[in-house]
Amino acid sequence: MSRIGKTRSTPRFRPGNDLDKACQMWMYERSLSRGAAVVAGVDEAGRGCLAGPVFAAAVVLGGGPEEWSGLNDSKQLSATARERWYQRIRERAVAVGVGMATVEEIDEWNILHAARVAMGRAVMNLGAAVELLLVDGSHAPLWTGTPAAPSLTVVDGDARCLSVAAASIVAKVERDRHMADLAARYPEYGFDRNAGYGTAAHLQALRRVGPCPAHRRSFGPVRQWLQVRLNVP
């Protein structure tokens, strides 16, 4: 595994010019590809939440920057824009894989390990042979058996590489949809609004009614509730 951090070579984008940004993200990604013909971007969603699984996605985009003008890090897009891009990626990308790690796995392993396993599962679900994985952050995917491809971690990769940005959108939308389903089962917590993050309303509900099966027992506010109310060490 190799790692790319923040450097002076990071492309700078002119605000309001979507095609210019897409071109620079595409060129930067190609500069990292080391001649690899098939590159997959990999990212995860939900590491900092108090509830719900952690999701990951791997995406092989294909095409040139003109086709993906306006594509951006999921955090920079509205929910409506994320849904629109999610549909486009699903329809036009060469391959898309999604993986997740359950709440039970998060509590057993820790969230970092679980996120890396989720990314590994996303890669294995791509259904396409890839030559290089560009991974957002500083930790490579984990899987059992032979690695699917070498990994290059890129700090802020979702803002610097088109395929990683696409993976961030897919992971985010898949997880948000899952949390909306959980909201129907556990309406007290507002999972459809907070996606499991520790908002003020979510924490207030947790204090009022306690955790549900979707909560991560190893995370601070949930663990503290269990320790105080149930005398769990």
Measured CA to CA, the distance from residue 220 to residue 128 in angstroms comes to 39
Residues 122, 157, 86, 38: is their CA dihedral positive or negative? negative
The pLDDT tens digits of the residues spanning 45-91 come to 999 999 999 999 999 999 999 999 999 999 999 999 999 999 999 99
In contact, 128 and 106? CB cutoff 8 Å: no
pLDDT mean across residues, the chain? 92
* Residue 226 confidence class, pLDDT cut points 50, 70, 90: confident
CATH T-level topology, domain 2-187: Nucleotidyltransferase; domain 5 (3.30.420)
The pLDDT tens digits of the residues spanning 14-57 come to 445 899 999 999 999 999 998 899 999 999 999 999 999 999 99
Q: Which residue, chain included where needed, has tokens 């923040």?
A: 6
Backbone phi and psi for residue 190, each to the nearest 5 degrees, phi listed first = 70, 35
How far CA 202 is from CA of 126, 140, 182, 195, in Å, comes to 34, 31, 14, 10
Q: What is the pLDDT of residue 9?
A: 42
What average pLDDT does range 200-208 have in this prediction? 96
Query: Which class for 20: exposed (0-12), middle (13-18), buried (19 or more C-beta within 10 A)?
Result: middle
The pLDDT tens digits of the residues spanning 140-149 come to 999 987 777 9
Q: Which residue, chain included where needed, has tokens 């991974």?
A: 135
Cross-strand partners of 55: 45, 100
Q: Encoding tokens for residue 223?
A: 């663990």
Measured CA to CA, the distance from residue 212 to residue 150 in angstroms comes to 39
Q: Which residue, chain included where needed, has tokens 């560009």?
A: 134
Q: What is the pLDDT of residue 30?
A: 95
Using only C-alpha atoms, what is the Rg of the chain? 18
What is the value of pTM for the model shown? 0.91
Greatest extent of the chain over all pairs of C-alpha atoms, in Å: 58
The pLDDT tens digits of the residues spanning 89-130 come to 999 999 999 999 999 999 999 999 999 999 999 999 999 999
Q: What is the pLDDT of residue 14?
A: 42
Measured CA to CA, the distance from residue 101 to residue 118 in angstroms comes to 5
DSSP state of 69: T
Q: What is the pLDDT of residue 2?
A: 66
* Residue 232 confidence class, pLDDT cut points 50, 70, 90: low
The pLDDT tens digits of the residues spanning 149-171 come to 999 999 999 999 999 999 999 99
Contacts of 171 (CB under 8 A, 6+ apart): 43, 44, 45, 46, 55, 56, 57, 74, 98, 122
* Residue 13 confidence class, pLDDT cut points 50, 70, 90: very low
Cross-strand partners of 99: 56
